[in-house]
Structure 1
Amino acid sequence: MSIAEGPGTSAGSSHAERVFRVTRAFAELGGQAHGPGEIAQATGLDDSVVHRILQSGVYQGYFIRVRRGLYQLGTDAAQLGFQALAHDDLSGDTVRQALQELRNATDGGLAFLYMKAPFRGAQRQCIDMAVGSSDLVELGMTPRDVLSVTRSLRTGASGRTILAYLPDNIQQLVLAEDVPDEAGPNAYRDNDALLASLKEIRDRGYALGNQECMAGWSSVAAPILWRDTIMGAVLLLKPVTVMPQAPESYIEATKTAAARLSRLSESGWPATDG
């Protein structure tokens, strides 16, 4: 459903509804900046109405006029998002318990929580982990791996899982990126194959990886969803010599951990095949 097709699109729509539709248009159109005409077409509103909303939003700090006739979301809009996330009830104890239970259920697998990074475009960052007494360096994971290869959304099961639920315009930005030089031998380098893998992830609700981010590691990842918005992914890692193929019990344990950290809509878990 487009913005213009949404509820309350008649000429009698309230001013608040119009403001919300203009704000949403920036997210759905993608790109860095848009003009009033483009936003009017996307929302079904008159150009003059959109222009007045944008002008008022610039004054309030919710929109920025980047150059003549072009606007983008302002820092105050981002601040609202940070405030919403700051008041969630997902405690550190809940995260650690979910990751530790995943580790226990997978015979000592390494469990990680990746979330969308708030800066530098469409990326991810490791927020927490349950690895027991393991030394990541001894396991072959260098700080460079954590800060570079695993940051890309086009490499690894957790990256592709997050990417699978992002809007098409954001996916295209990620597909235009180069595969990190340090990526594993089985990283997706063909964009058509990568896109096909994203559809598969959405269809079944999880991703499987084999030596994508780093050589020698096999993985399972499942999405963390707050209603229809992708927030991150839970990742299970085991040596490929131990887990050449993930057993069903490991897949279910990963999905269970991700579901504990999700706030699902009434339709429940996104997988269609159970």
Structure 2
Amino acid sequence: MASNENSNKTGTRLVDRFIRVQRAFLTLGGEVHGTGELANEAGLDDSTTSRILQSGVKGSLFERVGYGKYRLGAGTARLGMQALAHAPAKDERTHKILEELRAATGGGLVFQYMLAPFAGAQRQCIDMAVGDSDLVELGMTTRDVLSITRSLRTGASGRAILAHLPQAIQDAVLAEPIPAEAGPGAYRDNDELLASLTGIRNRGYALGYEECMPLWNSCAAPIVWGEAIMGSALLLRPSTIMPKVPDTVIEATKSAASRISAKLSHLSEPTATMFGP
């Protein structure tokens, strides 16, 4: 019995160390890292980290790219794509949350955006609550809203997602051209855009003033699955009705995103927002 218990403890420690090395790659960002910096970030000694990396190379979870240099491997990518392919996205309960957000804020248009995992770093609308609004009269076609993935650098819903993605993906998005259909309020200076992402992470929401379309203002909050950013909840209202986004709208949007996050993670709905002010 004691032998089995010791074996189980040893196995648990090995799994824990392997996970710590994987997380070190995420925390450090970038592409390639040396054994020493991974060990330091994981809180392990160099020899233990080296053994874990070498073992991971055999399973394609890590890839060796030079003496003592490693990056995440194709096996990790396959696991990630498999997870995204089966990630929860929406159901009747999440749609009801969108409808409740629309009612709580006096109308407007409410959308649920999610990352489009097989189209690069972009977002796609998967659900909406728009009441009797005619999207065509508002300058939006159903195909535009539902079928076309859009840049994460433009719009409150895009920036709410972009703010929580790794630095390497942020850099790739910032290198993209500004979409031709972007509104006059879109961030055209990358330094200002980066500063806005810091503010979003600190506050837990993004505000957009005529970013995606002229004469429409917006508020968005991130939707997460566990610790992973998955999308955002967006409220749009005409700038004539909502020239500035009031605190009541911000809190309602954050609460809706938090409730959707809880639903996706099969948790009880929170009594407060997941992201502090």
Match of 2:274 among 262, 269, 273: 269
CA–CA distance in 2 between the matches of 1:53 and 1:42? Answer: 14
- Of 231-240 and 118-127, deviating more is 118-127
The answer to whether 1:33 aligns with 2:32 is yes
C-alpha displacement of 1:179: 2.2
C-alpha displacement of 1:223: 1.9
Provide TM-score, normalisation by structure 2: 0.76
Percent identity over the alignment is 59
Matched residue, 1:215: 214
C-alpha displacement of 1:96: 0.8
Distance 1:177 1:88, change over 3 A: closer
The answer to whether 1:206 aligns with 2:205 is yes
Instruction: List runs of 5+ in structure 2 lacking aligned partners.
Output: 1-11, 263-268
Matched residue, 1:113: 112
CA–CA distance in 2 between the matches of 1:71 and 1:242? Answer: 53
* 1:269 counterpart letter in structure 2: M
Distance 1:191 1:33, change over 3 A: same
CA–CA distance in 2 between the matches of 1:231 and 1:124? Answer: 9
CA–CA distance in 2 between the matches of 1:184 and 1:146? Answer: 19
C-alpha displacement of 1:23: 0.9
* 1:42 counterpart letter in structure 2: E
Q: Secondary structure at the match of 1:262?
A: helix
Matched residue, 2:125: 126
C-alpha displacement of 1:236: 0.6
C-alpha displacement of 1:110: 1.1
Provide TM-score, normalisation by structure 1: 0.77
C-alpha displacement of 1:126: 1.8
CA–CA distance in 1 between the matches of 2:241 and 2:270? Answer: 36
Matched residue, 1:174: 173
CA–CA distance in 1 between the matches of 2:94 and 2:223? Answer: 12
Q: Secondary structure at the match of 2:136?
A: coil
Quick check: 2:218–2:245 contact (8 Å CA) kept in 1? Answer: yes
Matched residue, 1:253: 252
C-alpha displacement of 1:78: 4.0
* 1:4-15 alignment runs, 5 A limit: 14-15=13-14
C-alpha displacement of 1:235: 0.1
- Write the deviation string for residues 65-98 of structure 1: whole angstroms up to 9, x where unpaired: 4x44554323443454456567777751121111
Matched residue, 1:159: 158
Q: Secondary structure at the match of 1:224?
A: strand
- Write the deviation string for residues 78-128 of structure 1: whole angstroms up to 9, x where unpaired: 454456567777751121111111222233311111123324543322222
CA–CA distance in 2 between the matches of 1:120 and 1:34? Answer: 27
Quick check: 1:205–1:223 contact (8 Å CA) kept in 2? Answer: yes
* 1:108 counterpart letter in structure 2: G
C-alpha displacement of 1:169: 4.8
The answer to whether 1:185 aligns with 2:184 is yes
CA–CA distance in 2 between the matches of 1:146 and 1:127? Answer: 6
* 2:150 counterpart letter in structure 1: R
Distance 1:18 1:192, change over 3 A: same
